[in-house]
Amino acid sequence: MNIIDDIKHAYNKANVVEKIIYVNVFLFLITVLFKTFSVQWLALPSSFDSFLNKPWTLISYAFIHERLFHVLSNLLVLYYIGNLFLDFFTKKQFLNFYFLGAIVGAISFLSFNYFADKSGAPLGGASAAVSTIFVAIATKIPRYALRLRFIGSVELWVLAAIWVALSILQLANPDNGGAIAHLSGAVFGFIYAKQLDKGNDIGKWFEAILDYFTNFMKSKKDRPLRTVHKSKERASKNDVSISRQRKIDVILDKISKSGYESLTQEEKDFLFRAGKK
């Protein structure tokens, strides 16, 4: 088994959080190798007019990281907090929070730049989506304590507050559109988690869209058609087998009544071929 097979095997065994991390790592490597292409076509433009020419960047930007520290910090938090998230929410809800958080962050980034009449660097990174997941689980179980090496137990709401505070500090930077996106993701995570506690899943519509595309891709595989084909093939083979056995029985019955010499040459040949199978 080569390294590609090992990666495929690991990806197939991974949970939804780990699969998102694998995609982020893969696209980070692509960005390292083809930085200009990745930033130009996958990062979110700061200009609304440029975004209209590349609408897919509303989501693709959340998988693009240019700096090693950026991708490591996001993915380490996503790994630990994301797996904790799955203990209290479903896999589909994780996808809702993650992708909708990224979309909300993107819309906030574009809106801020539009109304502030700013045109800074394009946006890339999973920070808005990770902030959504982080704040959502901290809203769900704020007093849950994580034991950190060299520090001890720290409640989840404290860690989430520190994470959000780092984004607030970034507002002082001239190019602060990214901080706006991160904070918007955090606010969305809080609102979404609170609504879920009330029994109102405000991301259900997005889940329906994901289910539609998932079912569409499954239907393209034509599994039922292959099953029917196999069933017909088996049925056909069974019919042939039954017909041969009946013919053999008739020939044997003829031998028992009139002897072998009473058989025609065709019957002798058929019995000879049947005896060889």
Q: What is the pLDDT of residues 154-198, one digit of tens each?
A: 999 999 999 999 999 999 888 889 999 999 999 999 999 999 999
Together in a domain, 198 and 102: yes
CA dihedral 22, 23, 26, 31 (to 10 degrees): -140
pLDDT given for residue 143 in this prediction: 94
pLDDT given for residue 151 in this prediction: 87
Domain end residue (candidates: 172, 189, 219): 219
**DSSP state for residue 109 in the 8-state scheme:** H
Together in a domain, 123 and 253: no
Contact in structure between 42 and 57 (CB atoms under 8 Å): yes
pLDDT for 215 beyond 70:
yes
pLDDT for 230 beyond 60:
no
Instruction: Tell me how long the chain is.
Output: 277
Q: What is the mean pLDDT of residues 230-253?
A: 64
pLDDT given for residue 134 in this prediction: 97
Strand partners, 155: 145
pLDDT digits (tens, 9 = 90+) for 10-57: 888 999 999 999 999 999 999 999 999 999 999 999 999 999 999 999
Together in a domain, 31 and 94: yes
DSSP string, 24-43: HHHHHHHHHHSHHHHHHHHS
- Residue 58 binned pLDDT confidence (cut-offs 50, 70, 90): very high
Together in a domain, 205 and 271: no
Q: What is the CA radius of gyration of the chain?
A: 31
Question: 3-state DSSP call for residue 66?
Answer: coil
Cβ-based neighbours of 266, under 8 Å, separated by 6 or more: none
Domain end residue (candidates: 177, 202, 219): 219
Q: Which helix (H) or strand (E) holds 147?
A: strand 145-148
Together in a domain, 144 and 253: no
Contact in structure between 35 and 114 (CB atoms under 8 Å): no
Contact in structure between 189 and 133 (CB atoms under 8 Å): yes
CATH at 188 = 1.20.1540.10
pLDDT for 209 beyond 70:
yes
Range of the domain at 237: 225-276
Together in a domain, 240 and 267: yes
Together in a domain, 202 and 232: no
Together in a domain, 211 and 232: no
pLDDT digits (tens, 9 = 90+) for 136-159: 999 999 999 998 888 889 999 999
pLDDT given for residue 259 in this prediction: 64
pLDDT given for residue 174 in this prediction: 83
Range with lowest mean pLDDT among 4-13, 124-133, 186-195: 4-13
Together in a domain, 232 and 207: no
Domains of the chain: total: 2
**DSSP state for residue 44 in the 8-state scheme:** B
Contact in structure between 108 and 184 (CB atoms under 8 Å): yes
Domain end residue (candidates: 219, 239, 261): 219
